[in-house]
Chain A
Amino acid sequence: MTPPPPLGLIAELTHRCPLQCPYCSNPLDLERAAAELDTATWLRVLDQAAEIGVLQVHLTGGEPLARRDCSELVAHASANGLYTNLITSGVTLDDRAMAALLAAGIDHIQLSFQDVVASENDRFGASPNAFAKKQAAAARIRQAGLPLTLNFVIHRANAGRVPQMIAMAEALGADRTEIAHVQYYGWGLVNRAALLPTLDQLHAATEAVDDARARLSGRMVIDYVVPDYHAARPKACMGGWAQRFMNISPAGRAMPCHAAETLPGFTFPSVRDVPLSDIWNSSDAFLRFRGTAWMKEPCRSCDRREVDWGGCRCQAFALLGDTHATDPACELSPDHGVMQAAVTESEGAAGAYVFRKPRKDVVLS
């Protein structure tokens, strides 16, 4: 049976980035520029995406603007009727880049901030003056008449400033704000002990979001992503394995999510030689955890099995070493205790971070 077509294509154009955030969700083994897909291949991928029913393309990275063909890809996606979304750090979004994106027909830009405090923003991205550049990028996006989303990643060191983050989003004219707690994969998992918020911090952040949503209803959308570690139920990761999204790595490997390469026993098909329709409909990698047939107990008989789809496969493997296990974020998992153990371990842990870096780790405190 042919599955419903994917809704979104996540195009990870590159792992190169001017920032080095210690919670980066890119893999620890960052892809080199020389391994990246060329422009012609990306153009073909975008054609195939539109043919099979993809509606939205999310151009991300790394920093997608590090690719000189970024606006060319936007233009091609747009000409194919795809909704184009650029996910950027904004530090290289100068007048020229903005004009090129606008001419290409970009639909929406998501701009990340690491904090509302300039010095903290620049410290977390390990990038001097990044805050000022991001402010300028926000102004350019609004001046161009484009809708703007601000994204803030939340962790122990900035969780108390959610109200100020939302106030800044209002001041910059954002239509949408993402308050997204760190997801503990890649570099985030490496730095988990230093990043995890306390339960009290989480409650305060949630309350700040609820207050702002009530106040800004009809004017600004606020999307909120919570950390798994204080949860009772797992997230429906990616809306279910291979049910909504196809993610293409910088080197062209197609995966149901950007972290899937951490899973053992997979050969992810390459868009260099396999058409997207075959990847989506019949590749082993996409079929493996699609639906519910793969599940073990307690997922198999759970009445929420088609709500959260067993949670996250990458988290089950990273924390339990079992790709088929119930995500331990679920309180029904026999291994749910590993989440509380991580919270306990993080209490009192020093705020020393391993910053994302291609070759050598830079540790700052």
Chain B
Amino acid sequence: MNPVPRLSPGHKFRLDRVRGAWVLLGPERMFVPDEHATEVLKLIDGQRDVAAIVADLAARFNAPSEAIRIDVDAMLADLSARGAVRL
């Protein structure tokens, strides 16, 4: 399984300048992701698959991709269950 994640319909990920934080806005809901989730969400563009997202993070943070893959899968499963991301 190597899906291409995308934001669910009606969801927007943007930098809020007043709070200085990234926020994920959706239909009558919002999420303030932690720094790890923020890095993943920045890479969700409807083009990259999960493997590409993991490879990018592994290279930039100089970390083993197996460990990152576990974290990214868990994060995407959680965002999917909450309706913010489609896999």
Residues of A within 8 A of B (CB): 5, 7, 51-53, 55-56, 58, 81, 83, 85, 107-108, 110, 146-147, 149, 175-176, 217-218, 220-221, 223
Contact B28 A85 (CB under 8 A): yes
Q: Quick check: is B12 within 8 A (CB to CB) of the other chain?
A: yes
Contact A110 B28 (CB under 8 A): yes
Contact A175 B80 (CB under 8 A): no
**Contact A58 B28, CB 8 Å, known A217-B81, A218-B87, A221-B83:** yes
Name the segment of B13-21, B35-43, B62-70 touching the other chain: B13-21
How far, in angstroms, from A176 to B28 measured CA to CA in the complex? 10
Contact A175 B30 (CB under 8 A): no
**Contact A108 B87, CB 8 Å, known A175-B8, A217-B81:** no
Q: Quick check: is B46 within 8 A (CB to CB) of the other chain?
A: no
Residues of B within 8 A of A (CB): 8-10, 12, 14, 16, 18-19, 23, 25-28, 30, 80-83, 86-87
Q: Min CB distance, B22 to chain A, in Å?
A: 12
CB closest residue in chain B, given A221? B83
Contact B16 A53 (CB under 8 A): yes
What are 21 A-B residue pairs whose CB atoms fall within 8 Å in the complex?
A5-B18, A5-B19, A7-B30, A51-B18, A52-B18, A53-B19, A55-B23, A85-B27, A107-B27, A149-B27, A149-B28, A175-B8, A175-B9, A175-B27, A175-B83, A176-B27, A176-B83, A217-B80, A217-B81, A218-B81, A223-B28
How far, in angstroms, from A317 to B79 measured CA to CA in the complex? 39
Interface centre among A5, A7, A218 (most CB of B within 10 A): A218
How far, in angstroms, from A353 to B2 measured CA to CA in the complex? 55
Q: Min CB distance, A90 to chain B, in Å?
A: 16
Instruction: Give the contacting residue for A147; candidates B10, B23, B80, B82; CB below 8 A.
Output: B10
Residues of A within 8 A of B16 (CB): 53, 55
How far, in angstroms, from A28 to B61 measured CA to CA in the complex? 59
Residues of B within 8 A of A220 (CB): 83
Residues of B within 8 A of A110 (CB): 27-28
Residues of A within 8 A of B18 (CB): 5, 51-53
